[in-house]
Amino acid sequence: MTFTTTGDLTVADVAKMIDHSLLRPELTETDVRAGCALAARYNVASVCVRLADVPLAADLLKGTDVLVGTVVGFPHGSSATEIKAAEAHLALQQGARELDMVINIGALRSHNDADVQRDIEAVTALASDTVPVKVILETAYTE
């Protein structure tokens, strides 16, 4: 995507920069369906859903240009590395095409860099070259 310096962005250009988030724990299936329909209507970049909603979202967005993503280790990143890897594996099997993983903030703040790196590598190793993995740093928990 190329942008000019004059700011000639279209609605479609902006929409393709949006990851539509459907992560609130109280969302119903109806809410997820409505969110996916909205994402498809505006052709956003992706929909990020809870792991349990990946199969539904993948089915609803089949044939569209909207990627289905999910979060690994959500919401605090404190899951064991093996659990994060299992979540990533399951998500990819069920149709996720983008992974967001929450960094283990406690390990990071403890300067356990090797543990943080191992955590990230366990998830990225499962993703192919076509599956982006974003690492989320929850800054609300830092000092």
pLDDT in tens, the chain (143 residues): 554 445 688 888 888 888 999 999 999 999 999 999 999 999 999 999 999 999 999 999 999 999 999 999 998 899 999 999 999 999 999 999 999 999 999 999 999 999 999 999 999 999 988 899 999 987 776 55
User: 45 in a domain, yes or no?
Assistant: yes
Please state, in angstroms and rounded to a whole number, the distance separating the CA atoms of residues 143 and 139: 8
In a domain? residue 6: no
Is the residue at 4 inside a domain?
Answer: no
Domain region containing 112? 11-141
| Beta-strand runs (E) in 1-143 | 19-22, 46-49, 67-72, 98-102, 133-136
Number of domains in the chain: 1
In a domain, 117, yes or no: yes
**Sheet strands side by side (includes 19-22):** 19-22, 46-49, 67-72, 98-102, 133-136
